[in-house]
Each structure stands twice: as structure tokens, then as C-alpha cells.
Amino acid sequence: MKNSKQKIISALPVIALVWISFAWGTTWIASKEGVRYMPAIQLVAIRQFLGATVFLSFFIFKKAKWPNKSQWKSIFVLCFLNFICSNALSTWGVKYISSGLGAIIGTIFPLWLVLIQVVKKQYVPRNAIWGLLVCFLGICVIFYDHLADFLNPDFVFGIVLSVIATFTWALCSYYTVSYAQNFNPYFSLGIQMFISSILLYGICIGTNNTIPIDAIPVKSWYAIAYLVLIGSVMTFVAFIYVLQKFPPTVSSLYAYVNPIVALLLGVLFFKEPLTIAIGLGGILVLCGIYLVNLSIKKNRIIHYEKIKS
């Protein structure tokens, strides 16, 4: 009995990684379904409010310690970059583009980290340069089938929103590594979700871009419930758990599986096209991201060794 329990416990990190790889791929589909029937920012605000309620209720019940003054600054910055910008804009973007395309664009955020290095005149490894070139080639191949779509302002708007979302996620990652204060990451997520939900709903009301709560269709509520339970609660908990159990080279594997899941489910549920160009371009983008991630991780190891010595 003990051996079986130990085996289950030792397998939990692997199970969590598999869960993340699949679940976050499905959230692109849920977002696409939800925003078909209601304003995207309103959906995000409701999702984040309900997700925050789950996290905050737990920590308030446990009488957890609240953040101090310096930690609040980091929480507000991460709230703006992660939830107000990245999460909201990527959800808004899939209203105008396919969920699979949105997921592929979502994987390119490491490219922004390399460009931040260039702007700050830091050393950029050769693998990162090759990764940038391969990614650019992959994006060109993907958009070969979408050249005519660029005449559609809505399609262009969706692409712009999705690209900005990846940039703010990269800034969020950079800020977290460089400046974020130590604080319970789960409690911090709940606070960030709550603050962002209030601000986003205020934007919706201020721009008169809402529908009455009782007019939100059942399909959108199903999507919101899925996004809250699977995307905002269960998978975020699993994600932070995986970060604590695995090195970055392993914990980042989910990023290569998510777009594949989103592409296949988009074909299945929304009849989104899966052409040779999209398939080949997606593979090139993922290969480029792998090279960039590899160079970033090697740089971190070298930097750590220098500090250690």
C-alpha cells in the first residue's frame, strides 16, 4: 500500500505537467466559444472575478498574511501586465482570428525576451538569433494562407491584439524574474485577478460595451465556468506546482503542446482550417521557440555559475 502511494506521489509532477499541456490548449477553444455571444472584455472580467473569489476565499479562510507595501507594488504591476493586458487582449483577439492561430501567436513571447535583451544591449546567444529567424520563417509560412485576410480590418485587429498580449506576457515574465517580491504565488494570483476584474468591468461600463448579466447566453456561461475552474484555478495551481518540482527545461514543455491541442480542437469544434502551411509553419515556430528557450536557459545557468563563483 505504501509503495503504491509513493508511486502516485512521485508521479504527481508528471501528471500535473500533462494536465497543463492539455488543459491550457483547451482554454483557447473555451475563450473562442464564449466571446461568440458576448463582449470579450466582459467575459474576461467575469472569469477573473470568479477565479479570484475561489483563491481569496481560501486564503481569507486560512487567515493568510496579506502582502506588505513593497509586495503590493509588484502585485499591481503583474496584475496590469498579466491579467489586464495579456489575458484580456489574447481573449479579445480570438474573437477575430481562429483559436489555433491565437495559440500559435501566444507561443512567441520568448522572442520578445530576446528583443528586450537587444534593446538593453545585453549579450544575445547565437541560438537565440537562429531561433528568431526560424520563427520569422514559420510565421511567414503560416500567414501565406491568410494573405487575403489582411484586407479584413477585424482579422488585422485580432492579430494586433494577440501580438500585444504576447509582448505584455514577456514583460510580465521579465519583471517577475527581475523585480517581483517574494509572496505566496497563489494568493498573489487571487489578488491580481480580483483587481483586474474590477478595472476591466469598469472599462466595459465606461465604454458601454456590456450586455446584461441575465442576457448572457448559457453557452457563454459554460465557457466562463470552464475557464474559471480549468484555466484559472486547477491549471494555475498545477503550473506553479510544476515550476516548483521541475527545472525550466522540463516545466516549459507545455508551451509546445498547447498550440497543437488548440489547433486540433479548433478543427474539431469550429471547423477551422488545418492546412499544410499552418502545420509546417507551426512546427517551424515551435522549433524556433525551442532554440530561443534553450539559449535563455543556458544564459541563466552561466549567469548563476558566475554569481556562485
Average pLDDT over residues 127-136: 78
- 241 Cβ neighbours under 8 A, 6+ residues apart: 12, 13, 16
Lowest mean pLDDT among 176-190, 195-209, 263-277: 176-190
| pTM, 2 dp | 0.81
Residue closest to 89 by CA, chosen among 131, 41, 139 = 41
Q: What is the pLDDT, as a whole number, of residue 301? A: 40
Please state, rounded to an integer, the average pLDDT across all residues of the chain. 82
Cα separation, 134 vs 292, whole angstroms: 10
Residue 107 dihedral angles phi and psi, to the nearest 5°: -80, -10
Residue boundaries of the structural domains of the chain? 14-308
Cα separation, 82 vs 90, whole angstroms: 11
Radius of gyration of the chain from its Cα atoms, rounded to whole angstroms: 20
Q: What is the pLDDT, as a whole number, of residue 52? A: 95
In the chain, the N- to C-terminal Cα span, in Å, equals 46
Q: Angle, nearest 10°, between helix axes 126-142 and 276-308?
A: 160
Quick: pLDDT tens for 254-297.
Answer: 777 888 888 888 888 878 777 788 788 888 888 887 777 776 65
Cell matching residue 237 = 495551481
Average pLDDT over residues 204-212: 93
Q: What is the pLDDT, as a whole number, of residue 258? A: 81
Sole residue written with cell 555559475? 305
User: Which H/E stretch holds residue 4?
Assistant: helix 2-34
Length of the chain: 309
Task: Residue 67: count other Cβ atoms within 10 Å of its Cβ.
Answer: 16
Q: What is the pLDDT, as a whole number, of residue 163? A: 92
Q: What is the pLDDT, as a whole number, of residue 303? A: 41
Q: What is the pLDDT, as a whole number, of residue 309? A: 36
Q: What is the pLDDT, as a whole number, of residue 240? A: 79
The pLDDT confidence band at residue 179, using thresholds 50, 70 and 90, is low
Residue 108 · residue 285 · CB < 8 Å: yes
Cα separation, 99 vs 28, whole angstroms: 5
Quick: pLDDT tens for 35-78.
Answer: 999 999 999 999 999 999 999 999 999 899 999 888 898 899 99
